[in-house]
Chains A and B, each alone.
Chain A
Amino acid sequence: MTEADTKPVLRIREEVEYRALADGGMIYDPESRRIHHLNRTAAFIWQLCQEGCTADVALGRLCQDFAVDRERAQRDLQAMLAEFAAVGLLQE
């Protein structure tokens, strides 16, 4: 097991607030005062980040809950994390 497998997926900025919604979720960034709406997949990944999951655990949960193969899960996870980082929701 590598160090990357044990580190949490990514750290969310503490001040960012999340609300679960019927079709996903909503994130409020008090610094930018922006709201980001998440679909079900994005909300699921966000909650994995909140739980402090490692990359390996996150991939496993994605594959199981969304019935996708590991390669697809990997792509979706990386894409979503890149988006979270792009809008400044993650710790530097």
Chain B
Amino acid sequence: MRTTAAAALAGAEQLGGLLYRRLMEGGVPPSGAIAGLAREYHETAAENLLVMREFAHVLDQLGDLRDQVLVLPGAALLRLYPDLGCRSMDDVDLLVAPGRGGVVRRALGDMGMRSPRRHPDILVGERLTIDLHERALNEDRVSSRSQAGSLTAAALWETRRCVELDGMIIPAAGLEDEFIYSAAHAVRHGYSRLVWLADLAFLQQAMPDWELLQFRCRRHGITRPVLYALHLLRRELGCVLPPEVLFWLHAEPLGSLERMLLRRAFADGCDGEWGDLLWSCGVPRWRARWSFLLETAFPRPRVLLQVFPFLPRGLAPLAYFLRLFQLLGRGVRLGARVLRRLGR
């Protein structure tokens, strides 16, 4: 692949900074294409530094409440990357201890952070945006998601620990739980961002105890997304997995539907269409699986109004018609892609 094309792809996937770093380490001479990557690298480093400074201040101001929060991946995973310029962050996802969401939200509000309309769990500061979670995988938004496994705050608090990120100490989940969360998050969104695979690759490199990972998968009831992630790491990123992981992949092979959906997720440019279908494969019973898919397609009004923010609350039922058209549109786009592929 030519440098220009690689640079453009990396930039689009928010991995331009990482590519630039690797090119510098490899002694690749500067060129026009690399200038763009350098710009992204420096901007990412600068932005991340400013966000981290603001976040450090917020953690400081939280005081004792700091024990009631945990930083979820991606921000927590910045520590695994070579430096601040290698991975951009949209926001900092904070998981709150059970029952403490209100008090943490108020504390952040007292610091001057404000929520956009219809998004009470998002708090925006000067450069920092915090996304508050009371359920790690947002099972409170789509309750049937818990049928495919659940990362409860109580379970994540079992492995909660302090890690260093850019000179500050932040509370994070255990490494195994971070892998499970990242794998589940990536499949939920249909692997639509390559940066999530990069996260998993760095986690995989840092993983000390694969047996513990398997134990934590059983603890959370989330195994399939982890297996998908490992397959993708091996097949798409060429990661070398240790023998115990290869044994695990062999012992729990993917079904033909899962293999097809995983291939599609990547073949279609990772635009996220197949994520929910793949995620549903982790639901053990057919009836529960259909219930999962139905609620994912048509969640409760509060969630749909976030998807269609222009709709007044009084017209919430209309959101279901809009959602139907949205899904039909996606179906038509998918069908067109399949037909184009068959035609080649």
A28 sits at the interface (CB 8 A): yes
A23 sits at the interface (CB 8 A): yes
* Max chain B Cβ within 10 angstroms of own Cβ: one of A23, A30, A37: A23
Q: In whole Å, how far is A47's beta carbon from the nearest beta carbon of chain B?
A: 15
Majority-rule SS of A interface residues: strand
Contact-size category for B: 10 to 19
A7 sits at the interface (CB 8 A): no
Could you say which residues of chain A place their CB within 8 Å of the CB of B50? 28, 33, 35
Question: How far, in whole Å, are A55 and B96 apart by their CA atoms in the complex?
Answer: 52
A-B residue pair count with CB separations less than 8 angstroms: 40
B244 sits at the interface (CB 8 A): no
Could you say which residues of chain B place their CB within 8 Å of the CB of A30? 53
B20 sits at the interface (CB 8 A): yes
Digitize B74-111: 1 where CB-to-A-CB distance is under 8 Å, 0 elsewhere. 00000000111100000000000000000000000000
Q: How many A residues have CB within 8 A of the partner chain? A: 12
Q: Is the CB of B42 within 8 A of A22?
A: no
Q: Is the CB of B46 within 8 A of A22?
A: no
Q: In whole Å, how far is B72's beta carbon from the nearest beta carbon of chain A?
A: 24
Could you say which residues of chain B place their CB within 8 Å of the CB of A26? 42, 45-46, 49, 84
Digitize A9-46: 1 where CB-to-B-CB distance is under 8 Å, 0 elsewhere. 00000000101111100101010010101000000000
Could you say which residues of chain B place their CB within 8 Å of the CB of A35? 46, 49-50
Question: How far, in whole Å, are A3 and B235 apart by their CA atoms in the complex?
Answer: 64
Question: How far, in whole Å, are A18 and B172 apart by their CA atoms in the complex?
Answer: 25
Could you say which residues of chain B place their CB within 8 Å of the CB of A28? 49-50, 53
B240 sits at the interface (CB 8 A): no
Q: Is the CB of B24 within 8 A of A22?
A: yes
B141 sits at the interface (CB 8 A): no
Q: Is the CB of A22 within 8 A of B49?
A: no
Task: Identify which of B25, B38, B45 contacts A19 (C-beta below 8 A).
Answer: B45
Residues of B19-47 whose CB lies within 8 A of A: 20-21, 24-25, 38, 41-42, 45-46
A-B contact pairs, 24 of them (CB 8 A): A17-B49, A17-B167, A19-B45, A19-B83, A19-B166, A20-B83, A21-B41, A21-B45, A21-B85, A22-B20, A22-B21, A22-B25, A22-B41, A23-B24, A23-B38, A23-B41, A26-B42, A26-B46, A26-B84, A28-B49, A28-B53, A35-B49, A37-B42, A37-B46
Residue ranges of A at the interface with B (Cβ–Cβ < 8 Å): 17, 19-23, 26, 28, 30, 33, 35, 37
Identify 18 new A-B residue pairs, CB closer than 8 A, beyond the known A20-B83, A22-B21, A35-B50: A17-B49, A19-B45, A19-B49, A19-B83, A19-B84, A19-B166, A21-B41, A22-B24, A22-B25, A22-B85, A23-B24, A23-B38, A26-B42, A26-B46, A26-B84, A28-B49, A28-B50, A30-B53
* A-B pairs with lowest CB-CB distance, top 3: A22-B24, A22-B21, A35-B46
Residue ranges of B at the interface with A (Cβ–Cβ < 8 Å): 20-21, 24-25, 38, 41-42, 45-46, 49-50, 53, 82-85, 166-167
